[in-house]
Amino acid sequence: MREFSARTRAANMARMAQGRFDVLVIGGGITGTGIALDAAARGLRVALVEKDDFASGTSGRSSRMIHGGLRYLERYDVGLVHEALRERKILRRLAPHLIRPLPVILPADSPREAARYRLGLTAYGLLTAGRNIGSHRPVSGEQVRAAAQGLRGTLRGYRYFECQGDDARLTIEVARAAQGYGALLANHVRARRLLGGARVTGAAVTDEISGERFEIRAAVTVNAAGVWADQVRALAAAGGGQRRLVPSKGVHLVFAPGAVRTTVALFVPSAAGDGHFVFIVPWEDRVYAGTTDTAYGGDLDCPGVGEPDRGYILDTVARDFPGVTGRDVVASWAGLRPLLSGGQGDAATYDLSRKHAIAEDPPGLLTIAGGKLTTYRAMAEDLVDRLARDRPAGRCRTRDIPLGLHGSARAASRLAVERARRLGLAPAAGTRLVRCYGDDWPEAIAMIGADRSLGEPAVDGLPVLRVELELARSREMAITGEDVFVRRTRLTTRDASVPVPAG
């Protein structure tokens, strides 16, 4: 098992302060870590710093869907749909333990709705040729209600497939892969100032844990800070230019076990009648629902779940699952999408493009903004292709770099379940260790064998094992209690009442 710990972080920072790099990446979300992996795999010298934790921003607060972009067909954005479908197929191959197929049903309460869905899915099916998980098909009202018990009366529907995956865990696996190819990564390191005058030559940074300050020199600095990208550009002596991003807030609610009974995801019109849709998604023994899509002008570090956000989601779920109330909500999260303004004035965030863009402003600083979780690998390839024009670098290799698991997830799960049984653990524990830790599941089992207390629940009633708290520190560079409980194990997403330890 590759160590990726506080000790790794300290060693990386020491080398960052002493060396000179081809690329410095600012931002440890899925885009930044993806760029670090791509560049390092091409032989470039890479450093990456993140002011908070890996996936602490948008990359850890998404809908956790790796989807083909069905809804973008409404805007005739065929190019984005094609890219998303291609990247989804690649991700399923690279991280089969993290990215899993998810059946989705579009319930139709009228012949008109059914016709609309049939038309959209037929066009989608043509685009998915060779990349589809399963073909779409009509389902009867009885079939819909069998899959989603408690759903209000539905005449019929259509089933198709998306993929589900933990965004924060995917980001961690990409970060670990980048480290494996020689990149130096450190979380909780803030860029305070961009070095250089007319041309950016690196950054002055601060270790947010110790307070130590040092400088990182690089030929090219990449601004992959997501919704903070405009703020990072403003750190340059030459100024940050015009504002390019419009943050959009997306909120999700998590419902207690049994409150919303469905074995498939549902894609339903919002109760607000605004033409938008809400996903209702099964997740282990819980269900979450989202998302909102509203312009946001508050604190980028702490987007909250306000009553209007909560009501928007809750009203939709309660309409389709009568009896559900606010008392059934056990957790929630809010994330911000870094959307490109595109000079569209007062356009609603729902209508803004999800494509990405790259700009060099000022010289030496490449800013990448926009994009989607599903297409992060293509975004990284695009950016590294651009910076590689001016320096020797190999071809992109990220289509063939496994992200945490070599081989079949199903075969690994069978072995893990058997090993778990020998230790007296439930079969679900073995499956979980593969789904979360890929190739490192045998080490996790061995740790439990050496200390049986590590096989006990970290929190009573939740599936996370105590060994996972240890793995978060040794395998995934979790430094603070929040790193462990919020992003590595998702304990607070399962139940907001779980206390987060300090440090």
pTM of the predicted structure, to 2 decimals: 0.94
Nearest to 191 by CA among 135, 234, 151: 234
Locate tokens 């430094």: which residue?
A: 479
Predicted confidence at residue 412, as pLDDT, reads 97
For residue 362, give both structure tokens.
């000022």
Please tell me the distance from the alpha carbon of residue 441 to that of residue 429, in angstroms, as a whole number: 10
SS3 of 5, please?
A: coil
Q: Which residues does 481 contact at the CB level (< 8 Å), separation at least 6?
A: 500, 501, 502, 503
Q: In this prediction, what percent of the chain has a pLDDT beyond 70?
A: 94
Contact 186, 54 (CB under 8 A): no
The tens digit of pLDDT for each residue in 95-133 reads 999 999 999 999 998 888 888 888 888 887 777 666 667
Please tell me the distance from the alpha carbon of residue 464 to that of residue 443, in angstroms, as a whole number: 16
Please tell me the distance from the alpha carbon of residue 320 to that of residue 259, in angstroms, as a whole number: 12
Vertex 192 angle, CA 189 and 197, to 5°: 130
For residue 201, give both structure tokens.
């030559």
Domains and CATH numbers, the chain: 6-59+168-244+353-400 (3.50.50.60), 99-164+246-349 (3.30.9.10), 409-494 (no CATH)
Please tell me the distance from the alpha carbon of residue 142 to that of residue 105, in angstroms, as a whole number: 13
Please tell me the distance from the alpha carbon of residue 13 to that of residue 21, in angstroms, as a whole number: 13
Q: What is the mean pLDDT of residues 404-430?
A: 96
Please tell me the distance from the alpha carbon of residue 423 to that of residue 115, in angstroms, as a whole number: 53
Q: What is the mean pLDDT of residues 192-217?
A: 97
What is the tally of helices (H) and strands (E) in the chain?
A: 15, 18
pLDDT level of residue 240 (50, 70, 90 thresholds) = low
Query: To 10 degrees, the CA torsion angle through 372, 373, 378, 384?
Result: 100
The tens digit of pLDDT for each residue in 273-293 reads 998 999 999 999 999 999 899
pLDDT of 354 higher than 60:
no
To which H or E segment does residue 220 belong?
strand 213-223
Please tell me the distance from the alpha carbon of residue 171 to that of residue 28, in angstroms, as a whole number: 8
The tens digit of pLDDT for each residue in 37-92 reads 999 999 999 999 999 999 999 999 999 999 887 777 666 677 788 888 899 999 99
Please tell me the distance from the alpha carbon of residue 145 to that of residue 156, in angstroms, as a whole number: 9
pLDDT of 353 higher than 70:
no
